[in-house]
Structure 1
Amino acid sequence: MKRVIFSIQHVLCSFDVIFGGHRPAAHLKDRFMGKSKLKIKDLKKLNYPSDVARSLAINLMAQYFKHGSKQEKLDFLAKIKEHPEEFHSDPVWAKLAAEFDEKPSLKERKEVASLRETGEFTVYGRKHISSNAYLQMEMAMRLPIAERGALMPDAHQGYGLPIGGVLATRNSVIPYGVGMDIGCRMSLSVYDLRPEFLNRYAYQCKTALKERTCFGTGGELGIAQEHEILDRQEFSVTPLLKQLHGKAARQLGTSGSGNHFVEFGLVEVREEDPFGLPPGVYVGLLSHSGSRGLGASIAQHYTQIARETCPLPREAQHMAWLDLDAEEGQEYWLSMNLAGDYAKACHDQIHYHLSKYLGIKPVVTIENHHNFAWKELQADGRELIVHRKGATPAAKGELGVIPGSMTACGYIVRGKGEDGSLNSASHGAGRKMSRKKARESFTGSALKKVLSREGVTLIGGGIDEAPIAYKDLEAVMQSQTSLVDIVGKFTPKIVRMDKN
């Protein structure tokens, strides 16, 4: 992707158009370089028609007009809206001006392509899967870009693709097929420590989880951190990523809400040297989280663009895609990969801070994404874009982690490379009831009894994440024996979650 850096002199050329070929005086230039900032509500008052136009306007003004009164900025943006044709050749403002060219509304525009009548996909553990998740996968397979699909045994209804859905497409990426939490992943650190460590140092482990982790939307650790991810040049490639860099720095090493967690537990290695350790029971630290506000903002931004550039029937709007040969598709792909690397960096920092606090070092790390899209070669030689929305990569020999609930054991698995599943497996047990239903069906005292019975200490957490809300992971694993081998087991002991 080509990127052009504009000097202030270049930007001021734009005024030649606005002011009839006369560049504004120096004092006017200074005012345009002021500190006033525009907000979304300001653009709405100007009747800027879409999130894309408003976002472009704010990003461009922040990048090129850092000074000047708010009214001068609004007058300038109003000029672009009223006379977009005057800016079509402007290197800075052409893209924004294009948002105001006359074009039919989404209702008037013809659909990009008609949906197909049907599309075949492979299902694993059908008896565990609700009909609404199955219907969502059927809809995904009706897309004209869809080539192959699979549904994992933990599947349940989501937005766009069902959670547990795997979809392969031709040279196209679906932002909602990846999901809002780009790069949501598992990370397991294994320590060469005996199980007694967790009993002897239970207080220190709980203190470390309380003081060295942070959960929830907008959560920040509040300490300065260094990591190479923050120096990545991709943060300067698009206005959106440049805008999100500060938030990424502040949220580094934190976790999300919902089913995200950080927990100490016991790791049982079942096979002889499956990942560098002999059979036995070790201490482990397992985390589950994603790319925080960075990923969510990327997902929202490019989903809106996809829906505006790829109109689909109402029932399939969440499945709008971006062509990877188009500028927007290239931007999303770059941003998605950065968000995935950022998610890994967050886990790296979580494990680093906790290990340092306790004075221990891991001997093995096992990790994997389960909300992402990959370019993968198929058996027939074609390269397809494989979306895994809540599905674990399971290529032959590939290690991954499939967690249980806050009390249920999870598993370390090794992929078998099953072509029918597009080299995928489940990413957990999968929900069997909504959060609302879980809160209505369970009580705090009942949850405490379950935790006590299972010998689990819970810090934070809520009834909506109670084990009753999830399917039986043992049954799910039985439905995917053709997809993965179990080589290890993780038993949670001290669990930290957001207080829902």
Structure 2
Amino acid sequence: MPIQTLMTKGKAPVKIYTDEVEPAAMQQLYNLSQLPFIHSHIAVMPDVHMGKGATVGSVIPTKGAIIPAAVGVDIGCGMNAVRLSVNASHLPDNLRRIRSTIEAAIPVGFNMHKSDRARPTSIRALAVGLDRIIGKHRKIYSMQKKPYQTWIRQLGTLGGGNHFIELCLDENNDIWIMLHSGSRGIGNAIGQYFIELARRDMGRHLMNLPDKDLAYFSEGAEHFDDYIEAVEWAQEYAMTNRREMMRMILDSLRKQFPGFKVTKEAINCHHNYVSREYHFGEHVYVTRKGAIRAGEGELGIIPGSMGAKSFIVRGKGQPQSFCSCSHGAGRTMSRSAAKRKFTDMDVERQTAGVECRKDSGVIDEIPAAYKDIDTVMAHQSDLIEVVHTLKQVVCVKG
């Protein structure tokens, strides 16, 4: 579908690929549109919902400035998926053993590996850049316990919240491994640090913003280049984390499926990040807050909830969306609201047929707390085409 809603009362237009936007999210989008450095317009994906700092599902092109809170604290959060050379006929009748195998290999929540599990080459490559960042901003390290050990041992770990690892079947019954994670504790520390630094740097000018979470660094200002360096490092850390985690998962599953091969990597893509791109005649900074790049021919991953379908998609390079599409289904209610409304039995019923946790610890991730993924996909048919449809049979949550 084409753009469904157009907001024009701000300094820049807001073009929205759905007609279902909660009032709080509309207010956030209006606040964003008031900023003087928005380039052309703001594009909003059909999974839009209220976020912290900026609206989840928004694509924000800026000239000469970047908003750290729009990028967020899970810098570089995104997806990775691979297709295996085995199919549904190779699966055991009871999938609990597969879930247990993955859970034994990958720490979840706040946990980390008990020893350095990432490849030494990955650690060394990241260490050089981080040392340079910490040399200028030592407070980042003081925001974590045992920071050096933590960032290394969290490489190849899942985290909590909406992060997950899934074993899925596609339309041909081929098996896929799909995962969702980001830059873990070190990315969170970098994000929090620079969000607060942007507020301090703006000083009294912060009062002129419609929301203090929209504090920004201007190009040429004291800490602009430092933030660019730090956010690019965190994005690389997130990419490496997913790559290392996928390697560990595949190693563990070889006990279940001896001799399988990885036949296709769909993509390793960010959906909370900033990049330098060319749109509407100018080079700009594009912040995708809960959105993935969908340039012409580019592959991406759009997951549903833990009880719904997910999709491997190919971008159509739509200019009005800044070559973007949604990063998932999008929430319809907050985590606290979901916990108040639903029970363990609701989780069990809504995840029928999926081998996963069904206890009170995952109620906030219940499928009913998310938008209908088929509706979300229909609203962005102008932005992407579906290459594969995946249905999870095993889901590991933090």
TM-score, normalised by the number of residues in structure 1: 0.71
1:143-182 matches, cutoff 5 A: 143-147=35-39, 148-182=41-75
- Could you tell me which amino acid in structure 1 is paired with residue 395 of structure 2? V
Counterpart mapping for 1:91-490 below 5 A: 118-127=11-20, 129-147=21-39, 148-199=41-92, 202-217=95-110, 219-225=111-117, 226-232=119-125, 233-239=128-134, 240=137, 243=141, 244-268=147-171, 280-310=172-202, 311-313=205-207, 315-359=210-254, 360-365=260-265, 366-380=267-281, 382-452=282-352, 455-459=353-357, 462-490=362-390
Task: State the match for 1:40 in structure 2.
Answer: none
Does the aligned pair in 1 maintain the 2:47–2:327 contact within 8 Å? yes
Where does structure 1 differ by over 6 angstroms across 4 or more consecutive aligned residues? Answer: none
Give the conservation status (yes or no) of the 8 Å contact 2:80–2:242: yes
8 Å CA contact retained: 1:194, 1:281: yes
Do 1:190 and 1:267's aligned partners in 2 also have CA atoms closer than 8 Å? no
- Deviation digits for residues 392-447 of structure 1, max 9, x if unmatched? 11111111000001110011111111111111111111000111211122110121
- In the TM superposition, residue 195 of structure 1 has moved relative to its aligned partner by 1.1
RMSD of aligned alpha carbons: 1.8
Once the two structures are aligned, what percentage of the paired residues are identical? 32
SS of residue in 2 equivalent to 1:168: strand
Structure 2: gaps of 5 or more residues = 1-8, 142-146, 255-259
Distance 1:312 1:117 in 2: 19
- Per-residue deviation, 1:204: 4.0
Of the two, which has the highest radius of gyration?
1
In 2, Cα distance between the equivalents of 1:325 and 1:493? 50
1:266 & 1:368 partners in 2: Cα distance?
20
Quick one: which amino acid aligns to residue 238 of structure 1?
A: I
Q: Provide the aligned length of Structure 1 versus Structure 2.
A: 367
Relative contact order higher in (CA < 8 Å, ≥ 6 apart): 2
Aligned to 1:42: none
Q: Distance in 1 between matches of 2:324 and 2:389?
A: 19
Larger mean Cα displacement after TM superposition, 361-370 or 422-431? 361-370
Superimposed CA distance per residue, residues 352-373 of structure 1 (whole angstroms, 9 cap, x where no aligned partner): 1121122243221122100000
- Determine helix, strand or coil for the equivalent of 2:150: helix
Give distance in 2, aligned partners of 1:456 and 1:150: 34
1:491 equivalent in structure 2: 391
Q: What is the CA distance between 1:207 and its match in structure 2?
A: 2.3
Partners of 1:230 and 1:245 within 8 A in 2? no
Q: CA offset at residue 189 of structure 1?
A: 1.3
TM norm structure 2: 0.88
Residue 322 of structure 1 deviates from its aligned partner by: 1.1
* Cα distance in 2 between the residues matched to 1:387 and 1:467: 27
CA distance in 2, matches of 1:237, 1:302: 16
Partner of 2:3: none
Q: Offset at 1:389? A: 0.3
Q: Distance in 2 between matches of 1:204 and 1:324?
A: 52
Contact 2:18 2:45 in 1 (8 A): yes
Flag the structure with higher strand content. 2
